[in-house]
Amino acid sequence: MAGTMKAWRINELGKPPVMEEVPIPEPTFGEILIKMKGAGMCRTDLEVIDEGFITVPFEGPFTFGHENAGEVVKLGPGVDTVEVGQNVIVDTLHACGKCQYCLSGRDNFCEVASARGLKEDGGMAEYMIADAREVAPLGDLDPTEYVALADAGLSPYGAVQTAKPFIPNNGTAVVIGVGGLGFYCCQYLALTTSARVIVVNRSAEKMAKMVNYGADELVVLDDNAYDKIMELTDGKGVDAVFDFVGRDNTLELAAQITKGLGLISILGLGGGTLPVSWTTIKPGVMVRLTQGGTITD
């Protein structure tokens, strides 16, 4: 498809993105061209503008947009898994499909992965390119309503999936921080596990609504949070913690409340540290830095 398109691009770290006229990309083998219908924006994008994403070194220029959905308008050679006219949602991660992690189904840990809208061209443009194997058909769902599932929805879903072996029937899980991702996580736990869900958040007002979205207990993140959680669990602690904040105080709380053989899943990029030793966590606890979800997820 010849011609040009408008794209919102970042050219230099620390400077605002600019709208530019760029060539419409052409799909190569295994790729598809998507006419954009929705591209989400979140705090991550603001961090990229200011100082670069914490886990992805800045390598501009590129087009913004890491949560993307739209209509397939052209197929590259070798593509037979999607059709022109389908609405699809695009995985944020661009994995190689060939390394040991990709071949074992753990493509979210790809050795050479890139990230759309964070390191390579994303979807804040009229069109974007994606690998056909890294999109999921949306059917009759509206791309503008479901686009956030590409990242904000996928990351906590992947975290819950990998945490399930640690959560026994009628176990207990804690969600720290109920921004967008924590909001999704609470619902996934309620819908796909039998866990008792305890939500921890700094703002009591903000988390009050979570009782309508899967939360069984609400705990304010303050100096009494540990005592409250231990009281709720009869002093036993919890099976899994999902930390969507990632600061020193939340990581410390996670370590204190997770019982032996439990899981601490860290998704928040707050820059905190978690000392790991016999005196800081209980025996058998797994600490996992959770990164997105798999293509299968």
- pLDDT tens track, the chain, 297 positions: 779 999 999 888 778 889 999 999 999 999 999 999 999 888 777 777 776 655 566 777 899 899 999 999 999 999 999 999 999 999 988 999 999 999 999 998 999 988 898 888 999 999 999 999 999 999 999 999 999 999 889 999 999 999 999 999 999 999 999 999 999 999 999 999 999 999 999 999 989 999 999 999 999 999 999 999 999 999 999 999 999 999 999 999 999 999 999 999 999 988 899 988 899 999 999 999 988 888 887
Residue 142: predicted pLDDT: 94
Domain 155-289 has CATH 1.10.10.10: no
| Contact (Cβ atoms closer than 8 angstroms) between residue 120 and residue 9 | no
| Cα dist from 32 to 76, 87, 203, 287, whole Å | 6, 12, 43, 37
Residue 53: predicted pLDDT: 59
Residue 45: predicted pLDDT: 77
Q: What is the DSSP code string of 39-95?
A: EE--HHHHHHHHH-BTTB-----EE--SEEEEEEEEE-TT--SS-TT-EEEE-SEE-
- Ranges for all domains in the chain classified under CATH 3.40.50.720: 155-289
Encoding tokens for residue 20?
A: 């530019």
Residue 56: predicted pLDDT: 61
Fold of 4-150: Quinone Oxidoreductase; Chain A, domain 1 (3.90.180)
pTM tops 0.85, yes or no: yes
